[in-house]
Structure 1
Amino acid sequence: MRRADRARRHLLAAVVAAAAGAAAAAPAACSKPVYLTFDTGHMGVAPLVAQVLQDEQVPATFFLANERTRTGGWSLDDQWAPWWRELAASPLGHAFGSHTWDHHSWLADRPDGGFDTRPSMGPQAGQRQVLSAAQYCAELQRPADRFRAMTGQALLPLFRAPGGKTSPALLQAAQACGWQHVGWAPAGFLGDELPSDKYPNDQLLKKALAGIRAGDVLVAHLGIWSRQDPWAPAVLKPLVTGLKARGLCFATLREHPAYRAHLGVK
């Protein structure tokens, strides 16, 4: 009996220790979240961004367009498919949305319900183009179709208009085909689009660390052609660690209260 009792006590102690260890290992709830997002770009810093996120255990949301890359291809081509596949499979639970296929910037509404846009990619890059509401919806859907083909996963029904440029009519047209727009907080504009000679990395970092507050959506890119001194990972890593030191944490837009209803998240 004594031997059996000792065995039961050892077993109970082991169960309690395992439960305590699991509780200690479980991540704390994110009570003061910020929402780090990336739009596609020339992809030159994409692997570095992914590595920082992995090292710091930070989930992020990515908005996809088929943009020209430094290697002469496109951000959603077969060369980059394995990278997107690995990112989508990460246990960090990254999220993904649309940025339009050819990176169409809204210019004006048209009386017939369509839109004047200017794509920066594709066969009509740099030219003024007219899109009907249905054609704009198709532009939003193309990255979703490609992402599913690359990863087997669906994009969130969220999009970011290139440059954040929209109108009430464009937002209504996108909403009618199931897409909700995501902008960013004023302090969340991380400045990687700005010229590095006027806005050096240390200045951008200092401004971001001082201004960002819980609930802010942050925006950066996976490579900006015009910036000579790359923002990532030089600013990204100290930004993440600095925000953590302020008691902030990171979540994807799945958890953002403004989009939970649209996403069907309780």
Structure 2
Amino acid sequence: MLFPIKKMKGTRIAFRATATAAAVTALTLALTSCTHLDTTPPSTVRATDVQARFGTVDCRVAKCIALTFDAGPSKHSARLLDILKEEQVPATFFLLGKRHIDTYPELVRRMAAEGHELASHTWTHRILTDLEPDEIREELVRTNEEIERLTGRRPTLMRPPQGRTDDTVHEISRELGLSEVLWSVTAKDYQTSDSDLITRRVLDQSSRDGIILLHDLYDGTVPAVPGIIDALKARGYVFVTVPQLLAPGKAEPGAVYR
């Protein structure tokens, strides 16, 4: 876009805004519907507490990446858990309440028992930025309570539907002890059932400290997972949960990570 500025004798000079700035602004607006969003990368969190203990993987040294799945459990989740168990890959599941947690409680228990991180994706997938504060609390509290009832552990992470968040969502998340987790890699698997395309999209975008967004409720996603895992392992990646990705730092309630 050109911005003309008048000068003496009617001459004009045009300045072109950089493509990078425009692209960043467009991405932020599309993802969050906010005019500004401060997010924290995993590497920054890890640098905050070098003395803390962490798991068997040190992501300050290892080339880590996190697989995350939204809107489950579903009819495909048992097969996904079989794959993850066979591949010895942990994942982070952002679970949906209505027609998911309440339909497949045994899969929620299995996810927890097999060492995966369970988190909230709200109860009904309503867009949080469209809701009143009490409605936002209801979406998050109900999901947290049900996950805790089934597993004995209350979630500390949540992912807002469509990644849409704002200051009100941040404040309520802080109040409830929840950190918001977005993503850096998306296969847009809600648009296609082509497993090969899903695999290619993930591999094309993946980089160190990446957070991969997938949905285990779509038909093409779970069949793509073995190929994604094998290809990223061949590139030297180590799969971790989101908390492991941040360790030895720790996610802060109300903060947003991507």
| TM-score for both structures, normalised by structure 2 | 0.69
Q: What's 2:108 paired with?
A: 84
Match of 1:52 in 2: 83
Aligned partner (choices 55, 63, 67) of residue 94 of structure 2: 63
Per-residue CA deviations over 1:175-220 (Å, capped at 9, x if unaligned) read: 23322211000xx102211134xxx322231232132001011111
CA contact (8 A) 2:57 2:244 kept: no
- Asked whether the equivalents of residues 98 and 143 of structure 1 are also in contact (C-alpha less than 8 Å), the reply is yes
Label 1:28 to 1:255 Cα distance change in 2 as closer, same or farther (>3 A). closer
Change (3 A) 1:28 1:179: closer
Identical pairs, percent: 29
Using the alignment, how far apart are the partners of 1:174 and 1:28 within structure 2? 28
Letter in 2 for 1:210: D
Match of 1:43 in 2: 74
The CA distance in 2 between the partners of 1:218 and 1:81, in whole Å, is: 24
2:235 to 238, 241, 246: 246
The higher relative CO (CA closer than 8 Å, separation ≥ 6) is in: 2
Maintained 8 Å contact 1:34/1:213? yes
Q: CA deviation at 1:139?
A: 1.7
Residue 143 of structure 1: aligned partner: 143
Uncovered stretches (5+) of structure 2, i.e. residues with no partner: 1-55, 254-258
Aligned to 2:187: 190
Q: Do the aligned partners of 2:66 and 2:212 also contact (CA within 8 Å) in 1?
A: yes
Question: Match of 1:173?
Answer: 172
Deviation string 1:91-141 (CA, Å, 9 cap, x unpaired) is xx211111111112135xxxxxxxx24xxxxxxxxxxxxx2x243123211
Instruction: State the match for 1:104 in structure 2.
Output: 126
Q: Distance in 1 between matches of 2:111 and 2:242?
A: 16
Root mean square deviation, CA, Å: 2.2
Match of 1:106, as an amino acid? Answer: L
SS of the residue 1:50 aligns to? helix
In 1, Cα distance between equivalents of 2:173 and 2:58: 33
SS state of the match for residue 235, structure 1?
Answer: helix
- Give 1:28 shift: 6.7
Structure-1 residue corresponding to 2:20? none
- Residue in structure 1 matched with residue 45 of structure 2 by the alignment: none
User: For each residue in 1:226-266, what CA deviation from the matched residue of structure 2 results, as whole angstroms up to 9, or x when unmatched?
Assistant: xxxx2232211100110000000111111233871427xxx
Q: Max radius of gyration: which structure?
A: 1
The structure 1 segments of at least 4 consecutive aligned residues displaced by more than 4 Å after TM superposition are 27-30
Q: Give the CA deviation at 1:55.
A: 0.8
* CA displacement, residues 15-37 of structure 1 (integer Å, 9 cap, x when unaligned): xxxxxxxxxxxx77551111111
Structure 1 residue 41: Cα displacement: 4.1
Q: Is contact 1:49-1:232 (8 Å) kept?
A: no
User: Alpha carbons of 1:178 and 1:38: their partners in 2 closer, same or farther (altered >3 Å)?
Assistant: same
Residue 162 of structure 1: CA displacement?
0.7
1:205 to 177, 199, 209: 199
Matched letter for residue 178 of structure 1: G
SS at match of 1:256: helix
Q: Would the aligned equivalents of 2:73 and 2:95 in 1 still touch at CA under 8 Å?
A: no
